[in-house]
Each structure stands twice: as C-alpha cells, then as structure tokens.
C-alpha cells in the first residue's frame, strides 16, 4: 500500500498498481447517481481509471462539481444535472444508485432508477446504510439482523427511506427479475467529505484545524466504526461485479467511542485541541460495528486502511479546502 497524490491535490490509496476489477469487461456504460458527492466521486475515479464510460446524474443538493471536474473534457465522462425524483431515460449496463438526500425523495428516486434498470436490463446497486439497524440490540450487526428503528423519530426519514429502498430493490428483483445488489454502508470518511454537514469525523477535523473545541455529543461513550472511502469503493465495485445480491455490510470493524475518536484527531492534528460536551440528539444509536464475515467470504473483501492511516489523508484535503494551499497552486 502506498500513498500518491492525485492531480487535484489530495492523496489517495494506490493499490500497488493493480486494478483488481473489471479488466475482463471493458467499456461498460455506467450511471452513478450522486456521482458528484463524496463517495460517488471516488467511485467515478475508479470506474474512469479502468476504462468505462460514466454518466454522473446529480442535482448538486449536497454534491459539488469540483469533485468530478478533473474528468471534464474526457469523452467517456458525462455530467447530467438531474433530480432522480424525475424519471430519466438512458441506455446503460450498470446503475450505482447513491443519490440520496435524507428524505422520502429517497424512495421515489430509487423507484425511478429501478424502473430504468428494468427497462434497459441494467444491473442496479443500492447504497443502503447501517442506519437500517437503528439503535441495534445485536452487536456487532450481522446482515440477518432486522434492526431496531423508531418509525416516528427524528432520524426515521433517512432510516425508513433506506429500509423502503431495500424493500423496493428486492421487489424489483423478485417481481421483475432485475439484477440487484445491496450494500449497507457503515460510517465512511475521507477526502471530499462535506465539511459542514455535521457528521462527527468532518466536524472534529474541521474544528481541530480551525482551533475550535471538538464537540462531543452526550457522554462520548457511544461507538461507531469508521471506514476509509477507498475501502468502501473497492467493496462497492466487487459487489457490483460479483454474483451475490446481498445485503452486504461494508464497513471497517475497528470500533471507537467518540471520545477515542476525538483523541485520534488530537494526535493527528493538534494535541492541545479542547473537548466540549454538548447534549446528544434523540435516538442516537449507542453502538455500531459491522460483522463483515459475509463480505469477506463472498466478495473476498476487507478494509485495508485503519483510522490512524486514513485520517491524515482526509486532514490534508480539509486543510487545503479550509485554508487554501499555497504550495499546491493548481489544486
């Protein structure tokens, strides 16, 4: 494993020069909804690098053109400003469906992309979430666990939206024979993550860089398991190319309390960073950690980048986006 610099300025993982997937199947036409977002843009980089034609469909609700700008001018790349709530007519082989604001439009967008997959015979991959397990009563979470979700809580819109999206995906699979794949993604971080959307890793990193106190919600003893984005993208591609429907947990089993995470951020950025306690949000899951036995066995996948290795790569990207980087003027 080595670290390289991308032309647009941040570091990424080099998997030793190998492109593990897709060598045998060149020239696929692939839609990535939400491809201008954090995870989507990294996925697009990998698909472009292996020679596929990629259509990004994004309404820039949370995503950003800057994330995919380095592909502009490449004849294999297209960017369409479009809300997936509206029907969409395309001819493609595969659909990676990542577009998702935390709202019921999640369901309508998924329905449309499944309709598209059915019409053109494309393979459809849903990026679901560990939130389908709610505040889990089973630990670590295995794919067979049905979850513990409050249907009327403040986070239900997202959780239930994804649960419904999984249901629709399986219904189209069983009822209309659509080839589908379901990934349940656990907390993911890395370069290009939204700076201000309130997630814990981006909050702590931005706060430490700006010399503000790290805001720990509640007692900070709740846990999450943090996965670096390149590991996730590798898992998504293996899932799409493989023979198994899923659902598959894609996450890094390394589990941290929020206080431990704050400590790692202090070690990485600023040992003197202060910690400030704030009231926690309602229905916050107490713990979360993926059981990834199924992905290991059936996809031959496991994460490679630990939090201590991955965090510095995110920090250099955040540093550059927050302060600008004089040493890297073209970025």
Q: Which residues bind ligand UDP (CB under 6 A)?
A: 87-89, 111-112, 115-116, 118-119, 187, 199-200, 203, 215-217, 222, 224, 258, 280-281, 284
Scanning 38-46, 112-120, 266-274, 307-315 for contacts with ligand NAD by CB under 6 A, the matching segment is: 38-46
| Binder among 99, 111, 125, 132 for ligand NAD (CB under 6 A) | 99
Give strand pairing partners of 148.
134
Residue 119 binds: one of ligand NAD, ligand UDP, none (C-beta under 5 to 8 A by kind): ligand UDP
| Binder among 78, 83, 212, 325 for ligand NAD (CB under 6 A) | 83
Residue 85 binds: one of ligand UDP, ligand NAD, none (C-beta under 5 to 8 A by kind): ligand NAD
Which run of H or E residues covers position 12? strand 11-14
d(CA 214, CA 199): 12
CB of residue 238 to ligand NAD, shortest distance in Å:
16
Residue 63 binds: one of ligand NAD, ligand UDP, none (C-beta under 5 to 8 A by kind): ligand NAD
d(CA 131, CA 186): 8
Decide whether 100 or 216 has the Cβ nearer to ligand UDP.
Answer: 216
- Residue 281 is classified by DSSP as P
Among residues 133, 158, 172, 189, the one annotated as catalytic is 158
Residue nearest to ligand UDP (CB): 115
Classified as helix, coil or strand, 227 is strand
d(CA 95, CA 89): 12
Beta strands 11-14; 248-250: pairing state: unpaired
- The alpha-carbon radius of gyration of the chain (Å, integer) is 19
Q: How far is CA 261 from CA 42, 84, 229, 268, 322, in A?
A: 24, 35, 17, 11, 21
204: nearest Cα among 263, 129, 126: 263
| Binder among 63, 134, 285, 310 for ligand NAD (CB under 6 A) | 63
CB of residue 192 to ligand NAD, shortest distance in Å:
8
Per CB under 6 A, 38 contacts ligand NAD: yes
Residues from 111 through 150 that contact ligand NAD (CB under 6 A): 127, 129
Angle between helices 156-176 and 105-120 (to 10 degrees): 20
Catalytic residue status for 172: no
Per CB under 6 A, 261 contacts ligand NAD: no
Cα of 4 vs its chain's centroid, Å: 21
Residue 148 binds: one of ligand NAD, ligand UDP, none (C-beta under 5 to 8 A by kind): none
Token pair 């997959």 is found at 117
d(CA 186, CA 183): 9
For binding to ligand NAD (CB under 6 A), which residues are involved?
33-34, 36-40, 57-63, 83-85, 98-101, 105, 109, 127, 129, 185, 187-188, 194
Catalytic amino acids? Answer: 158
């Amino acid at each position: 494993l080595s670290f390289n610099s991308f032309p647009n300025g941040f570091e990424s993982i080099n998997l030793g020069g190998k492109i593990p997937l897709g060598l045998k199947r060149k020239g696929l036409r692939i839609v990535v909804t939400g491809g201008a977002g954090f995870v989507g843009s990294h996925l697009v980089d990998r698909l472009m690098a292996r020679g596929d034609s990629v259509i990004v469909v994004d309404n820039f609700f949370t995503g950003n053109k800057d994330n995919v700008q380095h592909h502009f001018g490449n004849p294999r790349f297209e960017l369409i400003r479009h809300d997936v709530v509206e029907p969409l007519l395309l001819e493609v082989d595969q659909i990676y469906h990542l577009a998702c604001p935390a709202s019921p439009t999640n369901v309508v967008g998924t329905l449309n992309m499944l309709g598209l997959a059915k019409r053109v015979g494309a393979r459809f991959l849903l990026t679901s979430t560990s939130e389908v397990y709610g505040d889990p009563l089973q630990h670590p979470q295995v794919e067979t666990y049905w979850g513990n979700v409050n249907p009327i809580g403040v986070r239900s819109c997202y959780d239930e939206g994804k649960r419904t999206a999984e249901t629709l995906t399986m219904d189209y699979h069983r009822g209309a024979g659509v080839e589908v794949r379901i990934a349940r993604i656990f907390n993911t971080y890395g370069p290009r993550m939204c700076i201000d959307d309130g997630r814990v890793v981006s909050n702590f990193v931005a706060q430490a860089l700006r010399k503000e106190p790290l805001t720990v919600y509640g007692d900070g003893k709740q846990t999450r398991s943090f996965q670096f984005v390149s590991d996730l993208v590798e898992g998504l591609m293996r899932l799409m190319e493989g023979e198994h429907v899923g659902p598959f947990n894609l996450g890094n089993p390394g589990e941290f309390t929020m206080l431990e995470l704050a400590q790692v951020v202090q070690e990485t950025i600023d040992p003197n960073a202060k910690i400030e306690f704030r009231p926690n949000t309602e229905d916050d899951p107490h713990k979360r950690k993926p059981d990834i036995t199924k992905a290991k066995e059936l996809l031959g996948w496991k994460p490679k980048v630990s939090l201590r290795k991955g965090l510095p790569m995110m920090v250099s990207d955040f540093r550059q986006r927050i302060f600008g980087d004089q040493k890297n003027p073209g970025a």
